[in-house]
Amino acid sequence: MKPFIRMRKVLLYLTFLSFVFAKEPYAYLYLLPFDNIQNDPAVEWIATGLSDMAREEMKNIYGVRIKTKEDLETIMNDRSLMLKQPRGSRNLLVLGKYNRQLDKVHVTIQVIDVANWEELAKSQLTEVYTQVPALNKAVGSSVHQMVKPFLPTQPKVAISPFPKYTEKTVVKKRSPVSIQAEKVASSLDQQIAELESSMEFLLGAKARDRERPKKDISRFDSGEWTMDFDVDRKMEENPENAGNTQLLSGVLDQLLTNPYEVELQRPEFDYHEDDELYMTVRFPVIYRLKDKILKDMLSGLPYTGIEQDGTLTIFYFDRTKFNFPKHHVDAIKSGSYRIIPVMRIFDKNRNTLILVADTPEEYWHSRNSNKVLYIPQHQFSPLIDFSVGGWSIQVAMETVEIQAVYEFILPVSELESLSNVSLKFINETDLKTFLDPIL
């Protein structure tokens, strides 16, 4: 009987230890780059940024283990690995997709249970394209809220009934001699400053205006360096950079408003062997950056740095040599410089017969018209891009030619009415205002 009682005690003890030392459950979160469902190259860079924001939001949450695409492939190939995870753990897959329509980005997020591939939560977000920080924050918060019900509960910390032990703070007494010496040195510094200020006033260098905001000056006091600063004061422009800034401003004016050279070529006509009443019309167009702009960048501007990789050239400008004009910085940050080529083909009376809008926007590809032959295309891509930070501006330029061919079918009877072709770049934000009256 005694061996049985002893064995029972051992089993109870082992059971107790298993509860005490059992691993806590985790939420394994598989974050994949968001899917650009329209394959729009203009917003491709957002894909990793959205998943990175979700990762930053979740990485410090209790019980969450962030996993990658490779981890997901591993566990999908061998689902028995889930059995080796701590009891009560969950495997959650975050799937995201997005698309841009006009100035809005639409994001859809799903949370999937990897164990049975069941959808646990779904969310849809819309944000202005230029407000990327707000978009990232909204995505991170949405992922957190959807995953929150499936996260392990953080155990409560037991509060000890005993008071905390605190060591008595020992205050070191300073020698009266050192205190007096510091006062004397401080007084001398003040007297010297007053003397210099008085001399500058007498010489006409500057007035002693005590209401004028002081510059941020570091000083040594009681064994440490300190500085008072004004958080509302903006970065001051360096007057010595005025010449370089004027050159940069002139070049940026061209880059942001009219950087392209366009070559319109004569149309080509193909008869249809199976139908003599119709013809295929092709309008070849060549887009390229203006040669003069690149030459001015290379020879006329004292850029801070340059990188070249084949046809791609990246220029760097920083505040050591340039002051950044505010209207240029605002245009780059807002993306208002982005332009769309629009081709119009007129009859002899300058009536628009055919309209070609070369844009990646899905919205314009879904439109149609009863007034003109409307042809949405996507053959043009920007050959120049900008990025701006607090310290530098980067300009990336690609010296290649885009050879576009705009093709459409017309009745032979209407060909004689074609008289003139025009191609104009329209700001992306103004495209709707420009096209709506024509369509």
Q: What is the per-residue pLDDT for 232?
A: 45
- Rounded to whole angstroms, the Cα distance separating 45 from 31 reads 16
Measured distance CA(259)–CA(255) in Å, rounded: 5
Q: Tell whether the model's pLDDT for residue 206 goes beyond 70.
A: no
Phi and psi (nearest 5°) for 297? -65, -40
| pLDDT of the residue at 196 | 55
Domain holding 306, by residue range, is 239-435
Residue 115 lies in a domain: yes
pLDDT of residue 19: 44
**pLDDT of res. 107:** 87
Do 146 and 243 lie in one domain? The reply is no
Q: Which of the given ranges, 66-70, 310-314, 430-434, has the highest pLDDT on average? A: 430-434
Determine the pLDDT at residue 340: 92
Which distant-in-sequence residues (6+ apart) come within 8 Å of 128 by Cβ?
A: 103, 104, 105, 134, 135
- What are 237-241's contacts with CB under 8 Å, separation 24+? 237/323, 238/319, 238/323, 241/319, 241/321, 241/322, 241/323
Q: What is the pLDDT of residue 165?
A: 55
Domain end among 134, 150, 166: 150
**Residues 245, 383 within the same domain:** yes
> Do 139 and 31 share a structural domain?
yes
More confident residue, 296 or 289: 289
Which has the higher per-residue pLDDT, 196 or 416? 416
Q: Please indicate, yes or no, whether residues 278 and 422 belong to a single structural domain of this protein.
A: yes
424 found inside a domain: yes
Residue 329 inside a domain? The answer is yes
Output 323 or 227, whichever has higher pLDDT. Answer: 323
Q: pLDDT class for 380, splitting at 50, 70, 90?
A: very high
pTM, to two decimals: 0.49
Query: What integer best gives the mean pLDDT of the chain?
Result: 77
Same domain, 144 and 253: no
Q: What is residue 374's predicted lDDT score, i.e. its pLDDT? A: 94
**Structural domain includes residue 204:** no
How many structural domains compose the chain? 2
Residue 206 lies in a domain: no
pLDDT at 229: 55
Residue 237 pLDDT exceeds 60: yes
Burial 125-156 (b: 16+ CB within 10 A, else e): bebebeebeebbebbbebbeebbeebbbeeee
261 and 136 fall within a common domain: no
Please check whether residues 127 and 255 belong to one and the same domain: no
Residue 38 — very low, low, confident or very high, per pLDDT cuts 50/70/90? confident
Strands (E), 207-277: 218-221, 224-227, 260-264, 268-271
* pLDDT band at residue 182 under the 50/70/90 scheme: low
Q: Which of 150, 171, 197 is the last residue of a domain?
A: 150
Q: Do 279 and 145 belong to one domain?
A: no
127 and 257 in a single domain? The answer is no
Q: 131 lies in a domain?
A: yes
Q: Is 159 inside a domain boundary?
A: no
Helix (H) or strand (E) run with residue 411 in it: strand 402-411
Residue where the block lists tokens 């050959």: 383
pLDDT of residue 188 exceeding 60, the answer is no
- Which residues, 6 or more positions from 282, have their beta carbon under 8 angstroms from its beta carbon? 267, 268, 269, 270, 405, 406, 407
Residue-wise pLDDT for 117-131, tens only, equals 888 888 888 887 666
Look at 342 and 6; give whichever has higher pLDDT: 342
Half-sphere exposure in the Cβ direction for 140 (13 Å, CA) = 18
Which of 84-98, 232-246, 408-422 is least confident? 232-246
Do 140 and 243 lie in one domain? The reply is: no
Report the pLDDT value the prediction gives residue 60, as an integer from 0 to 100.
Answer: 77
Summarize pLDDT for 309-365 with one digit per residue, the tens: 888 888 888 888 888 888 888 888 888 889 999 999 998 888 999 999 999 888 899
- pLDDT of 12 above 70: no
Lowest mean pLDDT among 80-89, 350-359, 409-418: 80-89
Mean pLDDT of 16-41: 71
More confident residue, 162 or 433: 433
> Are 254 and 359 within one domain?
yes
Task: Tell me what pLDDT residue 209 has.
Answer: 44
Q: Which of 129, 150, 171 marks a domain boundary?
A: 150
- CATH number reported for the structural domain that contains residue 106 in this entry: 3.40.50.10070
For residue 89, tell me if it sits in a domain.
yes
- Do 258 and 382 reside in the same domain of the chain? yes
